[in-house]
Amino acid sequence: MSDLYRSAIHARASKLPPVPPTVYPGHTYGDEVEDDGDEDAEMGDSLGSLPSEMGPPKFSSSRRQRTSNPSFAPISAAGYFEQATQVSVVTSGLDFRAYYTPPKFADGSVLVCHHGAGYSGLSFACFAKEVTRLSKGECGVLSFDCRGHGKTSRIGSQSSKDEDLSIQTLTNDLLNLLSTIFPDPISAPTFLLVGHSLGGSVCVRACPLLQERKYRTTGVAVLDVVEEFTLEALPMMQSLLDARPEGFDSVEEAVEWHVKTNAIRNVDSARVSIPSVVVQNPRPTTRAPAYLWRTPLRSTAPYWTSWFTGLSSKFLSARTARLLVLAGTERLDKELMIGQMQGKFQLEVLTGVGHMIHEDDPIRLAELLVEFWRRNERVLVGIKKVGDL
């Protein structure tokens, strides 16, 4: 929900106690255009497929065409991921759009990234490139468009205006996708689950279920979402959504709006990710914009509460390493504060970023995640060796 979310929760922050000092754990840490003609343009470098086993006012009634600004022109994702494909997942009834850079070793680790509501897997593009660079290819990145977002579609091209976006369905989708790409838990890479906002809630719920299926998990990282703040902010969301434009006259205008409103503070990331969150209007008129939001957030309102209820307790009870990354000076809710004081998770607070942490400062976030992965991967490997002995 971008900076709409942040605007709503800022009013709540001053009522809560400050964030405790950061605790670093030891070794005991147990939201491109949907257009038939745009498909080739999006991945113009002929990327390979995944392995089979693996605030401004609304538009006025008299619209005026604007000249496209090349500074906000879309950028292909080809320079950020090695592979892109549609993965058919029969158990979910979906063709998932997935972006993948595999690790250089067959049994390596993979960061599995789940985006927030309204965005797409390409919101992790710049971050994925930095992870590959910093880990020297030892850590792969898999990012995908979740149900009702991006280029993920129903099998058989059957669309639905009433998409089921319940937290349980989204969690099952993640499990089904990973089970389709990596059907054998023994030979599958080790997963580090990374989720932004809604995606964080999905990853937290998916973690123990993956472990039940014998998949190895190095940890779970949640980006900029705290249960109490989010639930308190939800009643304000409808009015905040009223401040968004109905649509845009061009993809460049959509990118520009996100940058100039600080919804995304990194123009390069916005040029990669935002084209996938708008879709060409099938019935444009002089009064209607040429491009509309691909995922209308108002339609997801019935699910908002279920997305985040219980997030804190599930995060703290995850049987893996835990990392919470917040933007600015946000506060923890009581449950997380107690858990943080007890050293149950690692807390990082970034400055100079908004809600889209992974887009605003992909370098700093990649540094944090690669460090987190290296430290806890050694712990996981050490446990395996003890078992072998």
**Cβ of 6: how many Cβ atoms within 10 Å?**
22
Exactly one of 355, 358, 360, 361 is catalytic; name it: 355
Exactly one of 3, 95, 173, 224 is catalytic; name it: 224
Q: Is 329 exposed, middle or buried (0-12, 13-18, 19+ CB in 10 A)?
A: exposed
Angle CA 182–32–129, to nearest 5: 50
Active-site residue, 7 included: no
Active-site residue, 52 included: no
Q: Please provide residue 221's backbone torsions phi and psi, each rounded to the nearest 5 degrees.
A: -120, 130
For the sheet with 278-280, list strands across it: 247-248, 291-293, 278-280
Active-site residue, 45 included: no
Instruction: Spell out the residues 6+ positions from residue 50 whose beta carbon is closer than 8 angstroms to its own.
Output: 83, 85, 87, 98, 100, 181
Q: Please provide residue 135's backbone torsions phi and psi, each rounded to the nearest 5 degrees.
A: -90, 0
Copy the structure tokens of residue 139.
Answer: 């850590």
Q: Is 312 exposed, middle or buried (0-12, 13-18, 19+ CB in 10 A)?
A: buried
Catalytic sites, residue numbers: 197, 224, 355
